[in-house]
Amino acid sequence: MARVKFVAGNWKMNTNKAQAVELAKGVVDGAKSITGVEIGVAAPFVYLDAVGQVVNGTNVLLGAQDAYFENNGAFTGEISVAMLKDLGVKFCLTGHSERRHVIGETPELVGKKAAAIYGNGLILVHCVGEKLEERDANKTLDVVKAQIDELDNKLIDDPARLVIAYEPVWAIGTGRTATDEQAQEVHAFIREYLGKKWNTQFAEQVRIQYGGSMKPENARGLMSQKDVDGGLIGGAALKADSFLKIVEAGK
Ligand code: PEP
């Protein structure tokens, strides 16, 4: 069965409420005529409700950028998966490089969050990727493998609800993109490793997104690679027209 590409915007800590709603409306309008690609927007927590009112019930999935692993209780400032579901959130990121390397999340914490997101019924978009010095030291595949090992293969049993986003850290927000071949090489490795960790039939169905300065000009080349099943888009997702051009490139 062919994998349906999944293109998702990661708005990060951008927009105000009015801009978030405007952007969501632009994406929903443009997405109406698009079939054959799954589309999502991961909005800041505080705008999820407002953005959800625009996208829920359309072909644009509401996403969150993070979630805490406990359901409720004395965890000041944190947001649970149950709270996200209450607002209509359908997918949630874990392990984004900014959370790993800027906020300082440990692999253990990322793993607990991944388990909570998947275990509570959302689509899990688990981000992996190497830093520049790790690529230069030929450690890319080891890094990616260790980050995939944050996932509990006894818990995760539905390939449709697992998405891996390969995002080389040196390509995020830098304007520097992996070449089509560099992306495909790592994506093929990821699929092979998923096959070992689960089984090949499961691995064949998991979507592996590319992220890192994807834009309308390079999206088609990247997404035409055999194992590139969509994109996680930062900067270029902040304008509806550039985001929609990337979505179109995934058709
Ligand atoms: C991201 O943060 O997930 C990302 C891919 O950002 P950008 O597209 O801006 O590199």
Distance 97 CA to ligand 1 centre (A): 10
**For the segment 141-185, what is each residue's pLDDT rounded down to a tens digit?**
999 999 999 999 999 999 999 999 999 999 999 999 999 999 999
Phi and psi at 160, nearest 5°, equal: -70, -20
The residue-averaged pLDDT of 27-34 equals 98
**For the segment 79-118, what is each residue's pLDDT rounded down to a tens digit?**
999 999 999 999 999 999 999 999 999 999 999 999 999 9
* Phi-psi sector, 207: left (phi>0), alpha (psi -120 to 50), beta: beta
Q: Does the structure show a pLDDT above 90 at 1? A: no
Q: How far apart are CA 187 and CA 194, in angstroms?
A: 10
CB 24 within 8 Å of CB 51: yes
Q: Which residue has the tokens 């978030």?
A: 20
Please tell me the pTM assigned to this model. Answer: 0.98
- Element at 84 (helix H, strand E): helix 81-86
pLDDT score of 73: 98
Which residues sit with their C-beta closer than 6 Å to ligand 1?
10, 167, 172-173, 211-214, 232-236
pLDDT score of 2: 87
Distance 98 CA to ligand 1 centre (A): 10
Catalytic residue among 96, 98, 126, 187: 96
In the CATH scheme, what is the code of domain 8-239? 3.20.20.70
- Element at 47 (helix H, strand E): none
Q: Quote the DSSP letter at residue 33.
A: T
| Ligand 1: nearest atom to the Cα of 231 | 5
Residues 6+ apart with CB under 8 A from 93: 10, 42, 63, 64, 65, 66, 125, 126, 127, 165, 232
Q: Which residues of 126-141 are buried (b: 16+ CB within 10 A; e: fewer)?
A: bbbbbbeebbeeeebb
Q: Does the structure show a pLDDT above 70 at 72? A: yes
| Ligand 1: nearest atom to the Cα of 237 | 8
Task: Please indicate whether residue 96 is annotated as part of the active site.
Answer: yes
Distance 173 CA to ligand 1 centre (A): 5
Mean pLDDT of the chain: 97
| Ligand 1: nearest atom to the Cα of 12 | 2
Phi and psi at 38, nearest 5°, equal: -85, 140
Q: How far apart are CA 70 and CA 250, in angstroms?
A: 35
